[in-house]
C-alpha cells in the first residue's frame, strides 16, 4: 500500500509518500473528522472520494486496485490545477454499482 499526497494536503513544503498499510491507516484515522464532507465519486471514470466545500471539490482520493481487488495506491490531490484537470462526478451511494453520477462544479 502506497499513499501519495501533494503538498497542499499536508503541512509540508513537498509532496509526501507513505508506504505500508498500517501507516496509511493511521493517517486515514487522523483525517477521519473530515469524512462528513467527503462522498463517493468517479474520478476520470474510476471510483474514488471527493471532499467538497461550497459545492466545489477541495480534495480527491484516487484509488488503484490490485488484481485481488485490494487498494494498492491512494493519490490524495488538493492542488487546484490538478483538481481542474480531473473529471469529477459525484456518485449516489444507492447507485454505486451502476455508476450513477451527477456533476460537481469544478
pLDDT-based confidence at residue 105 (cuts at 50, 70, 90): very low
**Hey, is 106 helix, strand or coil?**
coil
Beta bridge partner(s), residue 46: 43
Lowest mean pLDDT among 12-16, 71-75, 93-97: 93-97
pLDDT-based confidence at residue 20 (cuts at 50, 70, 90): very high
Q: Average the pLDDT over 79-92 and give the result.
A: 91
20 and 91 in contact (C-beta within 8 Å)? no
Burial 63-101 (b: 16+ CB within 10 A, else e): eeeeeeeeeeebbbbbeeeebeebebbbbeeeeeeeeeb
Lowest mean pLDDT among 39-43, 47-51, 64-68, 91-95: 91-95
Q: Average the pLDDT over 93-100 and give the result.
A: 57
Beta strands in the chain (DSSP E): 2-5, 16-19, 38-43, 46-53, 56-65, 71-77, 88-91, 101-103
Decide if pLDDT at 77 tops 60.
yes
State the pLDDT at residue 13: 85
pLDDT-based confidence at residue 95 (cuts at 50, 70, 90): low
Amino acid at each position: 500500500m502506497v499513499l501519495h499526497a501533494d503538498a497542499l494536503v499536508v503541512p509540508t513544503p513537498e509532496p509526501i509518500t507513505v508506504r505500508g498499510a498500517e501507516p496509511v491507516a493511521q493517517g486515514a484515522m487522523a483525517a477521519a473528522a473530515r469524512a462528513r464532507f467527503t462522498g463517493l465519486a468517479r474520478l476520470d471514470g474510476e471510483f474514488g472520494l471527493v471532499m467538497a466545500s461550497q459545492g466545489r471539490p477541495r480534495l480527491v482520493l484516487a484509488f488503484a486496485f490490485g488484481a485481488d481487488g485490494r487498494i494498492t495506491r491512494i493519490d490524495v490531490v488538493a492542488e487546484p490545477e490538478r483538481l481542474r484537470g480531473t473529471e469529477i462526478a459525484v456518485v449516489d451511494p444507492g447507485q454505486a454499482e451502476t455508476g450513477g453520477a451527477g456533476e460537481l462544479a469544478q
